[in-house]
Amino acid sequence: MTSTGRDSRLPSRIDAQVLENRSEGGNNHRLVLSVPDWPGAEPGQFIMLSAGARAAVERSDPLLPRPMAVYRGHAPAAEPAAGRVEVLYRVSGRGTQLISEALPGQRLRVVGPLGRGFPEVESDASAVLVGGGTGVASLYELAARAVARARTTVVLGARTAADLMGRDDFAGLDIDLQITTEDGSSGLRGLVTDALAPLLRRVSRPSSTTVYACGPTPMMRACAELAESHAVRCLVSLENNMACGFGVCLGCAVPARRGGFALVCQSGPVFDSNDVRWQDLP
């Protein structure tokens, strides 16, 4: 597959200190880490985060770290201070439950930044960002940078208002923000595609418009199909399960349109939607 973004920064393996780790309602949490020697990240890049605080004995239950988008904190650490990296996450299983139990002062292992993020939004273009569920976390920095260069619309969706991630942060940006919830408890009742479809119908310059989508696979597939039907480019950030995060376990392989497979952790997580063989994804 064609690489979409940049991966100029070498990943580091760092013991980060928890500064804050708090519930934001529902199962959503915000983790703020102090990361020494943080090399910085590009929008869409991610870290592998140890599943729980590190004690004197190495944790082995669960053994594997969990991939998390760098939500905010893309600037490199300025010596002698450590970088401040934010993660928005949803407790969905044992790993994220253990992460939610890490207390301020405790340490989490961070490996990153990893993957290829989003390419820079072109100036004078139109950017339509679509985030569903935890996919919202991969889009904040892209939106924050896009506003200075392009007409930026952000659609955030979740099952209910309580599940929405990062809404207040996005509302603080100079963007056109649209909310959808499946139960109608906030914004438009329905799916993110119910907001995306009319936006795409109004596009006057398809060649300078790009949809950036991150969320559950069916959502990204639907966004890709909608964009294609309007001759608009679509970039997706895939959220496959990952064991290593840097090309060793082959557990994140995704079927490629041109044949074969691509590793989401190395060639992605951001791909041009035309490069993904959607019909062969679970």
Ligand X SMILES: Cc1cc2nc3c(=O)[nH]c(=O)nc-3n(C[C@H](O)[C@H](O)[C@H](O)COP(=O)(O)OP(=O)(O)OC[C@H]3O[C@@H](n4cnc5c(N)ncnc54)[C@H](O)[C@@H]3O)c2cc1C
Contact residues for ligand X (CB under 6 A)?
Answer: 46, 66-69, 87-90, 92-96, 134, 137, 239-242, 269
The yes or no reply on residue 171 touching ligand FES (CB under 6 A) is no
CA triple 168-169-173, angle to 5 deg: 110
Query: What residue 239 binds from ligand FES, ligand X, none (CB within 5 to 8 A, per partner kind)?
Result: ligand X
The yes or no reply on residue 251 touching ligand FES (CB under 6 A) is yes
Nearest-CA neighbor of 41 among 104, 86, 107, 93?
Answer: 86
Return the number of the residue (88 or 199) whose C-beta is nearest ligand X: 88
The yes or no reply on residue 256 touching ligand FES (CB under 6 A) is no
Q: Report phi then psi at 159, rounded to 5.
A: -65, -50
The yes or no reply on residue 247 touching ligand FES (CB under 6 A) is yes
The region of 74-82, 170-178, 222-230, 238-246 touching ligand FES under the rule CB under 6 A is 238-246
Query: What residue 43 binds from ligand X, ligand FES, none (CB within 5 to 8 A, per partner kind)?
Result: none
The yes or no reply on residue 265 touching ligand FES (CB under 6 A) is yes
**What span, in angstroms and rounded, lies between the C-alpha atoms of 279 and 191?**
21
Return the number of the residue (71 or 234) whose C-beta is nearest ligand X: 71
Query: What residue 270 binds from ligand X, ligand FES, none (CB within 5 to 8 A, per partner kind)?
Result: none
Query: What residue 250 binds from ligand X, ligand FES, none (CB within 5 to 8 A, per partner kind)?
Result: ligand FES
**What span, in angstroms and rounded, lies between the C-alpha atoms of 240 and 263?**
10
Tell me: cis bond preceding 62? Omega within 30 of 0 counts.
Answer: yes
Query: What residue 66 binds from ligand FES, ligand X, none (CB within 5 to 8 A, per partner kind)?
Result: ligand X
- Which x/- pattern over 196-235 shows residues binding ligand FES (rule: CB under 6 A)? ----------------------------------------
Return the number of the residue (41 or 191) whose C-beta is nearest ligand FES: 41
Query: What residue 243 binds from ligand FES, ligand X, none (CB within 5 to 8 A, per partner kind)?
Result: ligand FES
Return the number of the residue (21 or 134) whose C-beta is nearest ligand X: 134
AA letter at 81: A
Nearest-CA neighbor of 201 among 170, 232, 166?
Answer: 232
Query: What residue 211 binds from ligand FES, ligand X, none (CB within 5 to 8 A, per partner kind)?
Result: none
Question: Rounded to the nearest whole angstrom, what is the least distance from the CB of residue 14 to ligand FES in the complex?
Answer: 19
Contact 265, 245 (CB under 8 A): yes
Q: Which of 19, 162, 249, 281 binds ligand FES (CB under 6 A)?
A: 249
Q: Which two tokens stand for residue 209?
A: 């418009």
Return the number of the residue (68 or 195) whose C-beta is nearest ligand X: 68
Q: Which residues bind to ligand FES, rule: CB under 6 A?
A: 242-245, 247-252, 263, 265
